[in-house]
Amino acid sequence: MLRRILALTIKEFIGILKNRKSRMVLILPPIAQIIVFGYAATFDLKDVPVAIYNEDQGEISRQIIARFKGSRVFRIIGGLQSDDQISPVISLKKALLVLHFHEEFSKDILKGGHGDLQVILDGRNSNTALIALNYVHTIVADFNRSWAKKNGVGSSPARLITRSWFNRMLDSHWFIIPGIVALLTIVVTLEVTALSVAKEREAGTFDQLLVTPMTPFEILIGKSLPGLIIGLVEGTFIIIATCYWFEIPLRGSLLVLYSGLFTFLLSAIGIGLMISSISLTQQQGLMGAFMFLVPSVVLSGFATPIANMPKFVQDLTLLNPMRYILVIVRSVFLQGAGFDLLWTQYIPMAIIGIVSLAIAGFLFKRRLY
Amino acid sequence: MGSYSSSTEKKLARMRLRGLIKKEIHQILRDPSSIGIAFFLPVVLLLIFGYGVSLDAEHVPIGIVIEQPGPETNAFVAGFMESEYFNPVFFQSVQQAESALLQRKIMGIVWTRSDFTRRLLGGAEAPIGVIVDGVDANQARIVQGYITGVWMKWIASYAKAKGKLLSVPVNIKHRIWFNSAVRSRNFLVPGLIAVIMTLIGGMLTSMVIAREWERGTMEALLVTPVRIREIILGKVIPYFFLGMGGMALSVFISIVIFHVPFRGSYLALGLASALFMLTAIALGLIISTAAGSQFVAGQIAIVITFLPAFMLSGFVFDINSMPLPIQIITYIVAARYFVSILQSLFLAGNIWPIYIVNCCYLAIMAALFFMIIKKKSHKRLI
Amino acid sequence: MSRARDNDEGYCIVAQNLRKSFFSGNKEIVALHDCTFKVKSGVVTGLIGPDGAGKTTFMRLCAGLLVPDSGSVQVLGFDATEHFLDVQTNIRYMPQRFGLYEDLTVRENLELYSDLLGIEPEKREDRYRILMDMTGLAPFMGRLAGRLSGGMKQKLGLACTLLKPPRLLILDEPTVGVDPVSRRELWEIVYSQVEQEGMSVLLSTAYLDEAERCQEVILMHEGHVMGQGVPDRFSKPLSGHCFMLKPAPQKKRALQRSLANRDEVIDAIILGERIRLVTTEAMEPEAVREFFGLEQTVEITESEPRLEDAFIWLLKERLKKLGRSVKFKTITHRKVAGKGDEEVIVVKNLKRRFGDFYAVAGISFSVRRGEVFGLLGANGAGKTTTFRMLCGLLPASEGQLYVAGKNLRKARAKARERIGYMAQKFSLYVDLTVLQNLRFFSSAYGLFGKKQEERINWALEAFDLKDEANSISRDLPLGYKQRLALAAALMHEPDILFLDEPTSGVDPLARRQFWAHINSLADAGVTIMVTTHFMEEAEYCDRIVIMKRGRILAQGTPEELKKRFHPPGITNPTMEDTFITLIEMEGA
């Protein structure tokens, strides 16, 4: 039996690797994705275009502007001369934000102790706007502190001392890139397993396989192994790239990481085989995989937190194996978490895996003929 | 050629084109999968994304450790209790809070030491410890911002109550235009329309053409007197209208279900959508010339339309902040221009200069794509 | 600008030094080697040749779908490359799989092609009526093309090309996979059009009997033209070379095999209880007995030469010249255990329902050990469904069936080790090499280690696959693929072999080689069950069953059936006559 399974697995591998097209499917998307996600997918801003409308003649506005000039986040695109210019500069996306120092700005501060700095932001992408606003706050708070110190004005009674754990610089790459490990393994594993039966059905080879003495169980195992192995190999590739190319620290143990990956792959294979056993053509398999992948990526916490979703959607995500592996991968990488902290993630994933494999086995047997 | 007068030839050409379009319509009506891709897919995707993708943190679980409570700390904590952004959880010691953070039960910790009140009243700068979970850097930054907000509010009222001069010389007053409620859905949903339409245009067209090759119907078409441009138009026209239908449905869902404001002109939206639809369909046609089978076409379509439209269109991730080489790539992503138009039309209204410039880009891309198609397609098998 | 005008000499196609090659991987495959020939106007010309002869390439070049590497082809006086639009306005071409839109109705398909061909709306209805009457499709105008049977689809395809009678009609293997009744109808339509409209027809076919009816044939082989002329011109020289032998029934296979490999024999095939022999030298019937040392009990009569004889002769001559073997290989197979006439396949009142429709509506038959048993029927008769049930691929709705004493559907996987199965189209793994395929299937059947190596070597040797062992299966010529498929089905030395249309689209020589293999298996006691559309192949069988609409119309030996069912007035019917008589009798 083992030998027959092995023969089928070897055959599957040759089939996958010999065909130029399916080889491409395994090689190109990982590279494209890691480049695109690794470089393009970032919430960290830089070179945000800023326009300055400075009606103030005083010193203070100049000092603040100098701080903006010194920041890598902002890029000053020029000054405005009148109120009327604010609207077009924002609307036309020339600047994401306008800093408006009114006439009495410096005077107010020198006289009354504080003045208002007006910030107008383009909210068409409100997330970017919020992040930019946070940067503005940071720059101004820094200025406030040093100004207060210099002028001996009563210092603030309390002060926030902020630290970020796990990701000191709050670099959003550290969040996205380890996530790709999960994303890519599921994409590739689904590609390999979801289409494997449909491909044979279309080519007519499935009948040929069924008339051999192989049992459905053997066929099922033989079809799962390539997905598992390829998933692990590609996962390893991304893990290596994450550590050595993107230089993201791997703080936890590989054992914890790989047990997570393995459990995750079982559930991915189960789902892939479920799709496979119900689709008659490769196209249906592809559509099925796509229709599964999109929601499971969106509702996994890959790019946006699950906590922000409506309650019923949050409950829905409990069925999503990707939700759990993302926690595991990120915790192992950034937090160095071990089994003690993560066991709550393994269990649901293992349950999903077992259930989906069982259903796949059932469907497979039923739809076999 | 020469055997017919030009007017008969025109009549014949019209007849051929009409025949092809009629055929395509019959096929669309019979094959539920085309209608599914055009109407079902947008609805599902919009719902998934609309509900699933939100960058607005609310009720963030935050650990609060007050080592020695007093009236001052109570006022500070009240700020967290009142804020809709936070869901405070109290801990006896910072160790407990830290272990909750490790287990990811809370997103951050705000911590005052036992000497906080003494130092505060003594006029020394009393430190408030803040720890945030930095794994999700974006969320961490947003949470930090919220905490700072609570702190600032508290400190202002504290200073006022004590009659103390506040050491905040520069006070930021911000206004966020176009989306003052800062609802991320307002910009994500219009952006999504662009992503979905790219996918539909690219996938649907590339797959239906690949289907003709696969089933051998293309060979049979090619040997009739039909001109290649008629075959192309015969595909573009029906799927253009199908795509526009999907588009209208998406806009309807955005406005009615997701309550995204629409401030521009519908006519302008229609026009820009038409241009975009053309580029998407043209891309689909190009894919189909490269792919021999529906299966490959579908895969290419997902990789070269869906991913870039999603990642490189500026719909979630700011293009300016990307590395230069990737910024350059974004110029050939048609969705980039359409996202810009959509976000402006929905949230800002008719900003003509943006509208016109982006439409021009779309028109150039469409023209370019159709030129490539014209060059690439011929009535030959290879 | 060239005008539509037939060439002076009355030729509709003039090919000059036409050359076309393709790349498959890094290998250049020359489909046409500098071919120069002409096709006459106003007649039906048949293009004949084995797989890979370049027939389809030539037709596509004529239709302006391909650009030649060098040389030119003039169609109706137009250069097919330069003025392809003029060519396409004046000819119609029906590709091998005619591209009907299966999700459109019959009428919608006709409408589409009327629009594309520019037929005036007011003339359409009349034309549809004529064509639909002619093809018998009139009752099905509203049916989806995908729901038509294979034969009806071909007729609809033909109707679409005839909407506007073209001056030249090009048909690429219009009758592949079509049952004899539909085939005959297709031919009637084509010939009536040639007569009524005076059009020229160029067609390719794998059926030599069809080619025999063409007014002119062109023989091709590997991109070369071997000859051109009226069919008689090819077969005439063989008169006096053809004989029918009637040996004792149990000796026919051994005799056929010994004859087939003699140098003096062009061809020896089994036809029912007789053997048809074609010799290299003309001789008297009695001389044949002497020359080949036949027993006195063997009846010998002279027979008319056929185009197929000539084709095989020319092909063999050419292969010999190219230094290739023309000997038929036989294969060795272990003697199947068990005694004599035991029934190894038993089917009792078998039914299979799909929804309301009975694809198989209660059939019963049995097959004895070592028999070659044929399952014949029109398209959609339920042959493939029966086959799939026998192999355990499809559960039966009702009835009993036993293969080697077991119901394969219910039996444990082990029972399947006793059967071999060769599917309708090539269905091995095309991405794998020949060797990898053999290795995989032998493993799947539980062969390992030394035994496995032995069997693989046997397969490579017996089926002449040694040179191609490391070629990707996808790139193999059809004949090789078919041999590989048979080899894969035989790796585990099964007792029973199922063959579903094994020789569809294969040229006569390859078909003979294939049957040489089958016959040696039958001699070793392997039971063989086969479906086919080739009526000649039906005559190779010991017993046959003819099915229609899920029922059995008749069963018996080919001789019995031929005697019982034949068109009135015909004394010496072919199997095809018998088949059509039976089917039509039932239809009436």
Question: Binning pLDDT at 50, 70 and 90, where does residue C587 land?
Answer: low
CA distance C495 to A147: 97
Query: Do A207 and A242 fall within a single domain?
Result: yes
Question: Binning pLDDT at 50, 70 and 90, where does residue C3 land?
Answer: very low
Query: Do A130 and A234 fall within a single domain?
Result: no
DSSP string, C327-387: PPP----PPPPS-TT-EEEEEEEEEEEETTEEEEEEEEEEEETT-EEEEEESTTSSHHHHH
Q: Give the pLDDT score at B166.
A: 61
Say how many residues make up chain B: 382
Domain's final residue, options B107, B131, B162: B162
Fold: same for C11-229 and C234-321: no
Q: Are strands C274-279 and C242-246 parallel, antiparallel or unpaired?
A: antiparallel
Q: Give the pLDDT score at A368.
A: 57
Query: Do A17 and A115 fall within a single domain?
Result: no
pLDDT in tens, C277-316: 999 888 888 888 888 888 888 888 998 898 989 999 998 8
Please tell me which of the candidates A32, A122, A143 has its beta carbon nearest to residue B303.
A32
CA distance C478 to A86: 74
Query: Do A312 and A190 fall within a single domain?
Result: yes
Backbone angles phi, psi at C173, to 5 degrees: 40, 65
Provide the phi-psi class of C259: left if phi over 0, else alpha when psi is between -120 and 50, else beta: alpha
For chain A, list the strands marked E by DSSP: 48-54, 74-79, 97-101, 115-122, 158-165
Q: Give the pLDDT score at C25.
A: 66
User: What is the helix, strand, coil percentage profile of chain B, to 5?
Assistant: 70, 10, 25
Q: Report the run of H or E that residue C28 belongs to, with start and end.
A: strand C27-40
Q: Give residue A167's identity as a one-letter amino acid code.
A: N
CA distance A235 to A179: 11
Structural domain contains residue A163:
no
Residue C254 has pLDDT above 60, yes or no: yes
Tokens 């408006």 correspond to what residue?
A: A100
Return the percentage of chain B with pLDDT > 70, whole number: 96
Mean pLDDT, residues C188-213 taken together: 88
Q: Give the pLDDT score at A153.
A: 65
**C334 is written with which tokens?**
């272990």
Mean pLDDT, residues C484-498 taken together: 91
CA distance A224 to C464: 35
Residue C573 has pLDDT above 90, yes or no: no
Query: Distances in Å between the alpha carbon of C93 and those of A219, B12, C100, C161, C168?
Result: 44, 20, 13, 7, 8
For C239-298, list the strands marked E by DSSP: 242-246, 265-271, 274-279
Residue C452 has pLDDT above 90, yes or no: yes
Query: Do A100 and A217 fall within a single domain?
Result: no
Q: Give the pLDDT score at B371.
A: 92
- CB atoms under 10 Å from CB of B181, counted, come to 11
pLDDT in tens, A288-320: 888 888 889 888 988 888 888 888 889 999 999
Q: Is C286 exposed, middle or buried (0-12, 13-18, 19+ CB in 10 A)?
A: exposed
Query: Do B96 and B187 fall within a single domain?
Result: no
What are the beta bridge partners of residue A161? B129
Please tell me which of the candidates B222, B225, B379 has its beta carbon nearest to residue C118.
B225
Query: Do B30 and B78 fall within a single domain?
Result: no
pLDDT in tens, B277-302: 999 999 998 988 777 677 778 778 87
Residue C63 DSSP code = T
Please tell me which of the candidates B2, B23, B225 has its beta carbon nearest to residue C112.
B23
pLDDT in tens, C104-137: 999 999 999 999 998 999 999 999 999 999 888 9
Mean pLDDT of chain B: 86
Backbone angles phi, psi at A118, to 5 degrees: -95, 130
Residue A80 has pLDDT above 60, yes or no: yes
Neighbouring chains of B at 3+ CB pairs within 8 Å?
A: A, C
Structural domain contains residue A240:
yes
CA distance B225 to C87: 8
Residue C543 DSSP code = E
Structural domain contains residue B336:
yes
Return the percentage of chain C with pLDDT > 90, whole number: 31
Say how many residues make up chain A: 369
Q: Which residue in chain C has the smallest CA separation from B3?
A: C3
Interface pTM (ipTM) of the complex? 0.81
Query: Do B67 and B158 fall within a single domain?
Result: yes
For residue B220, list chain C residues with Cβ-Cβ distance below 8 A. Answer: 94-95, 98-100, 157, 160
Mean pLDDT, residues B20-28 taken together: 91
Residue C588 has pLDDT above 90, yes or no: no
Query: Do A215 and A80 fall within a single domain?
Result: no
Which of C4, C14, C53, C49 has its CA nearest to residue C30? C53
Query: Do B213 and B340 fall within a single domain?
Result: yes
Range of the domain at B309: 20-53+183-376
CA distance C329 to C461: 10
Query: Do A316 and A257 fall within a single domain?
Result: yes
Mean pLDDT, residues B236-253 taken together: 92
Residue C97 has pLDDT above 80, yes or no: no
More confident residue, C166 or B126: C166
Q: Are strands A97-101 and C543-548 parallel, antiparallel or unpaired?
A: unpaired
Query: Do B200 and B335 fall within a single domain?
Result: yes
Mean pLDDT, residues C307-333 taken together: 85
Q: At what angle do helices B137-162 and A126-151 cross, to 10 degrees?
A: 40
Query: Do B80 and B153 fall within a single domain?
Result: yes
Mean pLDDT, residues C482-496 taken together: 91
Q: Give the pLDDT score at C586.
A: 67
Please tell me which of the candidates A4, A19, A207 has its beta carbon nearest to residue C393.
A207
Mean pLDDT, residues C147-167 taken together: 88
Which CATH code is given to the segment(s) C11-229? 3.40.50.300
- Of A1-5, B105-109, C480-484, the least confident: A1-5
Mean pLDDT of chain A: 87
For residue A313, list chain B residues with Cβ-Cβ distance below 8 A. Answer: 51-52
Residue C472 DSSP code = B
In chain C, domain spans: 11-229, 234-321, 343-587
Residue B4 has pLDDT above 60, yes or no: no
Structural domain contains residue B27:
yes
What are the beta bridge partners of residue C171? C94, C203
Annotate C460-486 with b (16+ C-beta within 10 A) or e (fewer): bebbebeebeebbbbebebbbbbbbbb
Question: Binning pLDDT at 50, 70 and 90, where does residue C331 land?
Answer: confident
Backbone angles phi, psi at B111, to 5 degrees: -140, 125
Q: Which of B1, B22, B24, B219 to mutate to test the interface with C (most CBs of C within 10 A)?
A: B219
Structural domain contains residue A117:
yes
Q: Give the pLDDT score at C7.
A: 45
Per the CB < 8 A criterion, the answer to whether A146 and A132 are in contact is: no
Decide if domain C343-587 falls under CATH 3.40.50.300: yes
From chain A residues 215-234, the ones with a CB under 8 A of any chain C CB are 215
Residue C180 has pLDDT above 60, yes or no: yes
Interface contact C100-B16, CB threshold 8 A: no
More confident residue, A127 or A112: A127
Query: Do A216 and A328 fall within a single domain?
Result: yes
Which of C313, C406, C301, C390 has its CA nearest to residue C352? C390
Query: Do A34 and A60 fall within a single domain?
Result: no
Q: How far is A302 from chain C (nearest CA, A)?
A: 36
Query: Distances in Å between the alpha carbon of A44 and those of A83, A133, B314, C482?
Result: 30, 12, 13, 61
Residue A155 has pLDDT above 80, yes or no: no
Tell me the CATH number at A80.
3.40.1710.10
Pairs across A and B, CB distance < 8 A:
313
Please state the domain count of chain B.
2
Torsion of the alpha carbons at A52, A56, A61 and A63, rounded to the nearest 10: 110
Query: Do B239 and B125 fall within a single domain?
Result: no
Mean pLDDT, residues C35-62 taken together: 90
Return the percentage of chain B with pLDDT > 90, whole number: 31
CA distance C306 to C300: 18
Please tell me which of the candidates A127, A153, A337 has its beta carbon nearest to residue B55.
A127
Tokens 């500070």 correspond to what residue?
A: B76
Interface contact C431-A8, CB threshold 8 A: no
Please tell me which of the candidates B55, B56, B127 has its beta carbon nearest to residue A159.
B127
pLDDT in tens, B137-180: 888 888 888 888 888 888 888 877 877 666 667 777 888 888 87
Return the percentage of chain A with pLDDT > 70, whole number: 98
Query: Do B151 and B193 fall within a single domain?
Result: no
Structural domain contains residue B177:
no
Backbone angles phi, psi at B253, to 5 degrees: -60, -45
Query: Do B285 and B314 fall within a single domain?
Result: yes
Query: Do B154 and B288 fall within a single domain?
Result: no
Q: Which of B44, B84, B107, B138 to mutate to test the interface with A (most CBs of A within 10 A)?
A: B138
Structural domain contains residue B174:
no
Q: Which of C2, C101, C158 to mutate to test the interface with B (most CBs of B within 10 A)?
A: C101
Tell me the CATH number at B150.
3.40.1710.10
Structural domain contains residue B7:
no
Mean pLDDT, residues A10-20 taken together: 83
Interface contact C103-B224, CB threshold 8 A: no
Q: Which residue in chain C has the smallest CA separation from B21?
A: C112
Q: Give the pLDDT score at C45.
A: 94
- Tell me the CB-side half-sphere exposure of residue C321, using CA atoms within 13 A: 8
Is A311 in CB contact (< 8 Å) with chain B? no
Per the CB < 8 A criterion, the answer to whether C500 and C422 are in contact is: yes
CA distance B240 to C470: 48
Query: Do B262 and B363 fall within a single domain?
Result: yes
Structural domain contains residue B156:
yes
Query: Do A213 and A301 fall within a single domain?
Result: yes
From chain B residues 30-49, the ones with a CB under 8 A of any chain A CB are 33, 44-45, 48-49
Residue A268 has pLDDT above 90, yes or no: yes
Range of the domain at A117: 48-151
End-to-end CA distance of chain C: 55
Per the CB < 8 A criterion, the answer to whether A196 and A220 are in contact is: no
Is A21 in CB contact (< 8 Å) with chain C? no
Mean pLDDT, residues C27-44 taken together: 89
User: What is the helix, strand, coil percentage profile of chain A, to 5?
Assistant: 70, 10, 20
Tokens 């494209």 correspond to what residue?
A: A32
pLDDT in tens, B53-100: 777 778 889 999 999 888 888 888 998 998 888 999 999 999 999 988
Q: Give the pLDDT score at A367.
A: 61
Give start and end residues of each alpha helix (H) in B257-347. Answer: 266-290, 294-301, 307-311, 324-330, 334-343
Residue B164 DSSP code = P
CA distance B350 to B346: 9
Is C523 in a helix, a strand, or coil?
helix
pLDDT in tens, A82-97: 989 998 898 888 899 9
Give start and end residues of each alpha helix (H) in C445-574. Answer: 449-462, 478-490, 508-523, 535-538, 558-564
More confident residue, A114 or C93: C93
Interface contact A10-C393, CB threshold 8 A: no
- Tell me the CB-side half-sphere exposure of residue B193, using CA atoms within 13 A: 35
Q: Give the pLDDT score at A206.
A: 86
Domain's final residue, options B162, B192, B213: B162
Query: Do A67 and A99 fall within a single domain?
Result: yes
Query: Do B33 and B83 fall within a single domain?
Result: no
Structural domain contains residue A162:
no
Dihedral (CA of B306, B341, A40, B177) sign: negative
More confident residue, A232 or A147: A232
Q: Which CATH number fits domain C234-321: 3.30.70, 2.60.40, 3.40.50, 1.20.120?
A: 3.30.70
Query: Do A34 and A58 fall within a single domain?
Result: no
